[in-house]
Structures are given as C-alpha cells and as structure tokens.
Amino acid sequence: MDKILKLENQIKNLHCELESHSLYKKIVDLNSMKMFMETHVFAVWDFMSLLKRLQKDITCVTVPWRPSPHPKKLVRLINEIVLGEESDVDPDGGAIDHFSLYINAMKEVDAETQSIWKFIESQDYHALPLTIRKFVSFNINMAMTGSLHEVAGVFFFGREKLIPDMFRGLLKDIWKTESSSQFPKLKYYLERHVDLDGGEHSHLANEMLLTLCQGEPSKMEEALTAGIAALKLRLELWDFVESRLQEQPEALSV
C-alpha cells in the first residue's frame, strides 16, 4: 500500500507540473499557436488507439458477435466514452470525431497538417523528431501490447484525469492574447474536452480502471507506473515545444 501511495504522489506532482507548465504562457500569437498545434496533434491522434484498444478488449468488435465476458456496466462505460470521442458534436451541431475537430482547428489558423497525415499513412517513426517519436511510440506500443489495466492506467492518469486541468491552464493563458479571436475552433475543442473529460469521461475512465484492477494492488501499481511513464513523456513533449518557441523569438511577439 505504501508503494501505491508513493506512486499516487508521483502522479499528483506530475499533474501539477503539467497543469502549470510555462509553455502555456509562451503561446502568445498565431505563429506560436501553430507550432504548438503541429506537435500536439500527434497526441490527439494516438489517444484514439488507446481508446480503441480498451474498446476492443472490453466489448466485442469481431464478427460473429459474442457477449463480452466483462461486466455490462464496464461495456457501457467504454462505449459511452467512444461515443463522445469518435462522434461528438461539432460547432455547427453535426457529428465529428475529436481528431477531425482538431484538424479543422489547425486549418483555421493555417497550421501545417501534412506531417501528421503523412505519418498516419507511412507509420515511419524515424521521420518524427525524437521527442514526438518517443511519445507516440510509447502510446501505440502500450495500445498494442500493454496489459488491459496498464492501458487503462495510461488512459486515465495520462489523459482523462490530466486533460481538463491542463486545458484550463492553456485556455486561461492563451485567451489573454489579442490573437485569441483568430482560433474559435480551437477554443471550442479545448472547452469541449474540459466539459467532457472534467466530468463524465474522467469519472467513467476512473471507474473502468478500478474495475479492471479488481482490487489487486499489483495491478494498480502497474497501472500507476504506466501512467507515470506517460506523464513524463507528456512533460518532455511540452518542454520540446517550449524549446522550439524559444529558438524562434519572432514567433513570440504579440
């Protein structure tokens, strides 16, 4: 139990670092927003592989269909999260997945989207900058080979529990700038995640994690450890974006 408490404290400390990261104060104009989005889009994309692995193992997505061996409450939980992530409501009231919503926000500010599409098609990890490569490969490898409770740990601690507070920090800082009116679609994307992940999805993901760990301390330790690894890589990703912005001071003038 002491080990679990220690791991939980590590999670809390990493969350605090990410919620108040100095990167957010560096996103002060359209150029810096573009640079942020051109990196962040890779995290938006690989999120869905974590979610789909959970759906694949918890529900039945094969033909012929068979009843899931997992509790029906758990099946419902994951399907509700998938519904919100893969077919949410867009600003015009239509249906859209969150990756496409983000791509639309990138186009709105004229951010470059060719790199993410090229990577999705080629899966050439060596074409990515090292920090992005490490982040994406960790999440994809976890989605493909991790144990189910580890994937749930990365999904909850590294995404659903983190994102609302992290995006609140981002919203608070970037919407002080004069350029904020130029990206309403991004604002919608961020606010939508704060609403969903800050309430319904975070609660569902936590419940799913607890159910999958089955009250076994060893499984919770593994889930927490996986979550810590994901958070450390997110921190490296934000440090990478911040360093890029500092290398291009012209992108930091309001």
Question: In degrees rounded to 5, what are phi and psi of residue 89?
Answer: -95, 130
134 lies in some domain: yes
Q: Does pTM top 0.85 for this prediction? A: yes
Task: Name the least confident of 53-62, 104-113, 192-201.
Answer: 192-201
Task: Name the least confident of 80-89, 153-162, 188-197.
Answer: 188-197
Q: Are 160 and 202 contacting, i.e. CB atoms less than 8 angstroms apart? A: yes
The string of pLDDT tens digits covering residues 25-50 is 898 888 999 999 999 999 999 999 99
10 Å Cβ neighbour count for 33? 23
Residue with tokens 């999440």: 139
Containing domain of residue 113, as a range?
1-245
- Is the pLDDT confidence value at 97 over 90? yes
Nearest to 7 by CA among 249, 213, 173, 204: 213
Which CATH number goes with the domain that contains 157? 1.20.910.10
Number of domains making up the chain: 1
157 lies in some domain: yes
253 lies in some domain: no
Torsion of CA 59, 125, 15, 167, to 10 degrees: -80
251 lies in some domain: no
254 lies in some domain: no
pLDDT for 253: 33
Angle between helices 130-145 and 148-155 (to 10 degrees): 140
- Report how far residue 113's alpha carbon sits from residue 121's, in angstroms, rounded to the nearest whole number: 13
Tell me the CA distances in angstroms from 200 to 50, 172, 192, 243, one per residue in order.
18, 22, 12, 34
10 Å Cβ neighbour count for 168? 17
Question: pLDDT: is 129 or 179 the higher one?
Answer: 129
